[in-house]
Structure 1
Amino acid sequence: MKKAIKFISVLILVFATMLTACSGNTDKTVSETSKTDSVSKTSVSNISGATKLDLSSIKGEGDRLDKILAAGVITCATSPDFAPNEFMDISSGETKYVGCDMDLAQYIADSLGVKLEIVPMKFDAIKAAVTTGQIDMAIAGLAYTENRAKNMQLSDLFGNTDADEGQGVVILKENADKLKTADDFAGKKVLAQNGSVQLDLTMEQLSKADCTPIADVNNGAMEVMTGQADGLTLDLAVAKVLVVAHKELAISDFGFEYESKGNVIGCTKGETKLVNALNMVVKEVNDKGLYKQWKDKAIELAKSLGVEVNN
């Protein structure tokens, strides 16, 4: 049974790698994603239990919300390699995009009374997809940064659960006694997802390390496990899922100085009317504590897909 579970886990990693294969040109990546999204997105509605919002009083600039309501569908970009926020479930034989961020996306769609289409892409392609208006919103573990605020219209903060987790470095368990401080990582190859807060933290606080951007977290984990890299910087909630899935991995004693207040939804700059509507949903989610419930559920789902392989 354990072998079968681990085999499923490997299949998920392989599929995610194929889906988000590395490319040096972000614009090309977005273009290629657009060409294939007709076969890689899912459409579901009326499953979250959300109450449809009264949008008659919504004010703001931009016509994106009106177009969404007229079309009856909202598109959401995500990078499905970041459990428990967003990941793939192929256990039924078909690909489903799941996780606490995907639950939020569905709740938004149901609150607006439209269907949800999830558009998977590489994390570093999401910014271009949002800024050029290729998708309606992005929910992909996006922490607030000033740079993102300059380039996107951001929602209010949600899911203040990551603040209790922090950021860390995943390493081989056999190196746990050797990689415990920032100085220990001097000259070591440390990976971090391109365009992420983790990349910024690695460059700033592990400045003596060989910081290498990557496109996909699963690929990064494989590099660490095969000795091609010494560490992978991750949100600790994600790191904890990863090290349970792979007994050869551990989390370094080194910890970054970082405090998160939660994440945001990214939309095209100037679409304040859409974001004002999203903020109504975010407030409800925050007030009801729904995101924490979704996150706990997502962690258990990840485990059921092969994470719990402890003897």
Structure 2
Amino acid sequence: MKKILGFLGLAALTLSLAACGNGDAAKKADANQLKSIQDAGVIKVATSADFAPFEFHTVSNGKDKIVGADVDLANEIAKDLGVKVEFMDMEFNAVLTALDQGKADVAISGISATKERKKSFDFSDNYFVPEQLVVVKKENVDKFKDLESLADKKIGAQKGSIQESVVTSQLPKAQLVALAKVPNLIVEVKQGSIDALVLESAVAKAYVAQNPDLAIASAPLKSSDDESYAIAMKKDSKELKAKINAVIKKLQDENKISEFVEKNSALAESQAKK
């Protein structure tokens, strides 16, 4: 019996040491993430390319391409690291999951660095402060001039986005309708299946430009620091985070990020007119 107990104790100790070893290896992998990206020569970016002007699809010379302000930002980061970019397009509510599972190195997709998300991920400094707007059918724009007029209405938001919490916190009497893709929500508004849709200002304006039967309502929504966009990384990505923050600061000092947003807003609008 003592031999059996001794063996079980040894086995438990071995498993415990192995677990510790795996934990140490994971920490080491995180510490060497920047080096791993540079050694691979590519940074894998998880995104959801249905969020013009930040990330969206366009066709150039017969080829589908992901473009946008976030794409320009990712390209600047890659240039600074001396690597190429590989964009991984998926539904927005899967973007952080892909990062958590190690399928992506970073997530850049108009992501708000909320307190809850910061428990699981590292975030860069904020690079864009969005304004939240309400998109409705043009024929109904005069009906929604204040938040009270949206009470008891069906309000859309992208699943997993900060706009979900905007609806639940600022329009508590409304019925939230959350879908994975913004274009699907746009269709719902146009068909009258939902009464309104909450979107970030540049995104809202881009979709309204593409759809003349839509308009931006004057019902005012408040913005907060929690809604500002930042780049998500795995926990303990200190070296990578420092590099990314340096690029963001440089671009902000040169007013480049605002230029990226304006340029891609114009691109999305011109694409809609074709």
Determine whether 1:221 maps to 2:186: yes
Once the two structures are TM-superposed, the CA of residue 271 in structure 1 deviates from its matched residue by 1.6
Cα separation, partners in 2 of 1:134 and 1:61, compared to 1, 3 Å: closer
Once the two structures are TM-superposed, the CA of residue 108 in structure 1 deviates from its matched residue by 0.6
Match of 2:32 in 1: 63
Per mean C-alpha deviation after superposition, the further-off stretch among 100-109 and 253-262 is 253-262
Once the two structures are TM-superposed, the CA of residue 91 in structure 1 deviates from its matched residue by 4.1
Match of 2:125 in 1: 156
For 1:16-41, what per-residue CA distance to the aligned partner results, in whole angstroms no more than 9, with x for missing partners? xxxxxxxxxxxxxxxxxxxxxxxxxx
Q: TM-score of the superposition, structure 1-length normalised?
A: 0.75
Determine whether 1:106 maps to 2:71: no
For 1:170-209, what per-residue CA distance to the aligned partner results, in whole angstroms no more than 9, with x for missing partners? 1111111222222222221111011111110101111111
Alignment of 1:157-236 (within 5 A): 157-160=126-129, 162=130, 166-236=131-201
Does structure 1 retain, via aligned residues, the 8 Å contact 2:155–2:177?
A: yes
SS in 2 for 1:135: coil
* Structure 1: 4+ residue segments shifted above 3 A: 259-262
Match of 1:75 in 2: 44
Once the two structures are TM-superposed, the CA of residue 61 in structure 1 deviates from its matched residue by 5.8
For residue 125 of structure 1, the aligned residue among 72, 94, 98 is 94
User: Partner amino acid for 1:263?
Assistant: Y
For residue 209 of structure 2, the aligned residue among 244, 256, 276 is 244
Does structure 1 retain, via aligned residues, the 8 Å contact 2:46–2:108?
A: yes
If each structure's helix is expressed as a fraction of its own residues, which one has the higher value?
2
Once the two structures are TM-superposed, the CA of residue 292 in structure 1 deviates from its matched residue by 1.0
Once the two structures are TM-superposed, the CA of residue 143 in structure 1 deviates from its matched residue by 2.1
Unpaired stretches in structure 2, ≥5 consecutive residues: 1-28
- The 2-side partners of 1:280 and 1:139 are apart by 16
- The 2-side partners of 1:154 and 1:259 are apart by 17
Match of 1:294 in 2: 260
- Structure 1 or 2, whichever has the larger Rg, is 2
SS in 2 for 1:190: strand
Determine whether 1:282 maps to 2:245: no
For 1:201-247, what per-residue CA distance to the aligned partner results, in whole angstroms no more than 9, with x for missing partners? 10111111111111010110011001111111101111111112111
Q: TM-score of the superposition, structure 2-length normalised?
A: 0.85
Does structure 2 retain, via aligned residues, the 8 Å contact 1:99–1:295?
A: yes
Unpaired stretches in structure 1, ≥5 consecutive residues: 1-59
Match of 2:59 in 1: 90
For 1:142-185, what per-residue CA distance to the aligned partner results, in whole angstroms no more than 9, with x for missing partners? 1221112111110111135x3xxx11111111111222222222
- The 1-side partners of 2:243 and 2:51 are apart by 26
Determine whether 1:267 maps to 2:233: yes
Percent identity over the alignment is 38
SS in 1 for 2:51: coil
Per mean C-alpha deviation after superposition, the further-off stretch among 195-204 and 175-184 is 175-184
User: Partner amino acid for 2:204?
Assistant: A
Does structure 1 retain, via aligned residues, the 8 Å contact 2:154–2:177?
A: yes
- The 2-side partners of 1:97 and 1:256 are apart by 30
- What is the root-mean-square deviation in Å for CA atoms of aligned residues? 1.7
